[in-house]
Structures are given as C-alpha cells and as structure tokens.
Amino acid sequence: MATPWLADLSRAFKRHRQGRPGWILEEKRDRLRVVSDELPPRPGEATTAGKRRAITLATPPGPATAAAALAEACGIFDAVMAGAWQWPDPDAPAHGDPARLGQENLTRLRVRLRVAVVGEQISERTWQRMYQPYLMRLEEVAAQRAWDEQGLLEATLKRWQPSSRARQMAHDRFRALWKEAGWPWPEAVLALRGNGRAAADPAGVIGFNDQEIEELRQRIIRSKLTPADQVAWDCLIAFGLRPAELKGLVLLEQGGALVALVNHEKKSSRGKVGARSVPAVPPKGWPVDCYDLLSRWRAHGLPASLVAMASPGERMAKQLSRLHQQQQATGALRASLTPYGLRHAFALRLGVDLGLSVRESAELMGHSPAVHLSTYGRQLDRPKLLDKVAAMVTTRT
C-alpha cells in the first residue's frame, strides 16, 4: 500500500497528465521512478510495442522532496509527449558522484546541449555568442576545486554584476544545462538571478563629446580604413544609428535637409521597431551637410562586408579598439568609449542642444519614451536643474 505522501504525489502527477493512463510513480528500494510503456526504447534497444520501461528520478523519495519529485516527473512526461525526451547518457557520472560537477563532465554536457538546441531552437551564431561563453565560464570555475552543486552555481554567478543582464543569462544557460542532464535545479540559486537591470552608472551613459568626435574622425582619416568606412562612422555620428541600422540605410535630401531612411527592423522582447526617417543632427562645428556626407555616400556607399555581417557593431568595435591605440591628434579619446557612444551623444544633442521632448527624441531614435527617459533622463535633466537652481539663487532675497 502506498504511503500517504506517495499517494498524494501520484494524484498530482495524474492531474498534470490530465488523466492520461499508462504512467505510474512508484518507490523501489530507496529511489523513486516513473514507469510507462510510452517511454522510448533505450539506445541500442529493439523497439517493442507495449513494453513498460522505468526511469529512476534524481530526486530522493520522501514527503520533504515531493514537490521536486513532481516537477521532475512532470518534466519527463512533457518531454516524452513532445518527442524530445532522451535516456540519460550511460557514461555520465551518477547523481551522487563528485565527478558529476567536474570540468570534464560539464564539457560533455555542453556538447550535448549544443547538439540538442542548435538548428532546432537557435542558430550556431547565437550559440557561440549567447550560450557557449557562459557555459565555459562554469567549466573554468568547476576546474578550480571540488564543489557541491549550489556552491558551484553561486560562485560562478557571482562573477557577473548583481542584477545584470549577463548574470540573468548565465543563470538561464546553466539551468538549460541542468535540464539537459536531467538534474533537479536547486531553486535557492534563483535568488542570484536578478531582473537583468543592473544599477545605472551614477554618471549616466557614456557618450562622445564633440571634441572626442573630432578626434575620432581624425584618427579614421589617418588609419587604413576606407572612405566607405568613414561614411559608416559619420552616419552613426550624424543620425544616432545603431550599427545594425546601417543595413539597408538610404540617404537623401528633403527640403534642403540631409535625412536618413532607416529600413532595418529591430526585434526584441519589448517589441519591434520598424522603418523611420531621421534628420541629420551633426555636432557643433560641423557643416550642415556633414562634410558632404550625401555625396560621399553616393560615391562610396557603405562597406559591403560590414553591412552583410549579422552584427556590424562587433566589427566597428574592433575598428575603434585599433583607433584607441593611435597617438592622439586633437585631444584624448577615452578608452571606455564604444560605437554606441555616438548614439548616446546624438540623444543628448536632441535633448540638450535642440531641447526636444522625450517623446520627440524617442521617435527619432526608434524606441519608446519610457526607454529614452530611463536611459537619458538623468543627463537630460541635469543642465536644466543646474540652470534652475542658479536662477533661484540669483533672484532670492
């Protein structure tokens, strides 16, 4: 006769299956296991219709672990129904084996996860950029000494800034690895995940100032970059573009003003940004035609290899890194500056120099007023606040 906790667990498992028969949760010796004739054949096993197979759960039996056991059993059922479940690797260390969290086994798991998701859920490029670096960091930490499960995960996650997007992604990638291995996830680690929004730098975003923009142009002129590369950089400066928005970019003249037609669509969890028109807003000291940018664009275009890249920003970041190494021409160039700093400078020109509202600036930059305010609000308010305080001090009696 089943113990009360096991009977409750079985009923909860049945509810999850919506009454689908042929699945049993049972306790055998000191382990829990799921039994069903719908479990697929083991590797190398002949297909036999109606054969009952059993998979032992990693979660130990008992009332204290019933919730974790239910989650593990439901995960197996869901994966089998989706046709995505596989038998655990027979060569993998057992759940209680210390080698399970060793670097060698984690590397094997990373290879398994890549085979499972690349081509089915994500591209190879996404794997290289958004999965592999986090998982390799986990392996590096695992190689330092023997760890318990929670200790390894927490020590690795703490290598990223609290509440940062990087730590959030690391948590999710590690959890995907645990799922691939069939290991129960230690929920205590969730507290370290954060919301992906690290505390903002007190100084705000790091944007180029006008002197640094001039220094950048001089370094590009002295470098081995082509006239087409110069056009690309000047487009970032004059229109506040994301590097990816160089794809499909068209320049034209409207009513005597230089205008960029941005055709690249940006998709994210917050929505999609469609095409938009952006008038040139050059830095102070620039001619209105942005050094005859329209004619240069017509003559040289944009670098074909650059706009063909999935992420033009990566290549431009490398170019800027080399430009940082040049001897200064007209002034210093802070090492912390990135290509995106030209977009930040554009946003501040719109708000501080032209006095556009948050809504108007956000429209030109291709994002929501909320994002614009959260990103630039502090820097946009600071000059007005200083002027207001100075005026009040001057007029007080």
Q: What is the CATH number of the domain that holds 234?
A: 1.10.443
Q: Examine the domain organization and report whether 74 and 107 are in the same domain.
A: no
Last residue of a domain, one of 81, 115, 130: 81
pLDDT in tens, 134-158: 999 999 999 999 999 999 999 999 9
SS3 at position 54: strand
What whole-number distance in Å separates Cα of residue 141 and Cα of residue 102? Answer: 9
- Count CA within 13 A, CB hemisphere, residue 391: 6
What whole-number distance in Å separates Cα of residue 375 and Cα of residue 373? Answer: 5
128, pLDDT greater than 60: yes
317, pLDDT greater than 90: yes
Q: Examine the domain organization and report whether 325 and 247 are in the same domain.
A: yes
In a domain, 93, yes or no: no
Check: CB of residue 80 under 8 Å from CB of residue 64: no
| pTM, full prediction | 0.62
pLDDT in tens, 287-300: 999 999 999 999 99
In a domain, 382, yes or no: yes
In a domain, 364, yes or no: yes
CA distance readout (Å), 23 to 6, 74, 329 = 14, 11, 74
269, pLDDT greater than 50: no
Q: Examine the domain organization and report whether 245 and 387 are in the same domain.
A: yes
In a domain, 204, yes or no: no
Q: CA dihedral defined by 43, 46, 52, 55, rounded to 10 degrees?
A: -10
Q: Examine the domain organization and report whether 71 and 219 are in the same domain.
A: no
Q: Examine the domain organization and report whether 216 and 343 are in the same domain.
A: yes
In a domain, 31, yes or no: yes
pLDDT in tens, 40-93: 888 777 777 778 899 988 888 999 999 989 998 998 999 899 888 888 776 666
Q: Examine the domain organization and report whether 160 and 221 are in the same domain.
A: no
Hey, CA dihedral for 86, 90, 96, 98, is it positive or negative?
negative
Which residue, 34, 127, 132, is CA-closest to 87?
34
pLDDT in tens, 96-127: 677 789 999 999 899 989 988 888 788 898 89
Check: CB of residue 264 under 8 Å from CB of residue 245: yes
In a domain, 223, yes or no: yes
In a domain, 104, yes or no: yes
As a whole number, the mean pLDDT across the chain is: 88
Phi, psi of 258, rounded to the nearest 5 degrees: -80, 125
The pLDDT value given to residue 325: 87
Q: Examine the domain organization and report whether 147 and 289 are in the same domain.
A: no
In a domain, 397, yes or no: no
What whole-number distance in Å separates Cα of residue 325 and Cα of residue 334? Answer: 11
Q: Examine the domain organization and report whether 166 and 304 are in the same domain.
A: no
The pLDDT value given to residue 298: 96
Q: Examine the domain organization and report whether 131 and 176 are in the same domain.
A: yes
Mean pLDDT on 30-41 = 91
CB contact set of 328 (below 8 Å; sequence gap of 6+): 215
Check: CB of residue 192 under 8 Å from CB of residue 154: yes
Domain count, the chain: 3
Residue of higher predicted confidence among 261 and 204: 261
Host domain of residue 171: 98-192
What is the DSSP secondary structure assignment for residue 41, as one 8-state letter?
P
Mean pLDDT on 254-274 = 77
pLDDT in tens, 182-232: 788 988 999 999 877 666 666 678 899 999 999 999 999 999 999 999 999
pLDDT in tens, 226-257: 999 999 999 999 999 999 999 999 999 998 89
329, pLDDT greater than 60: no
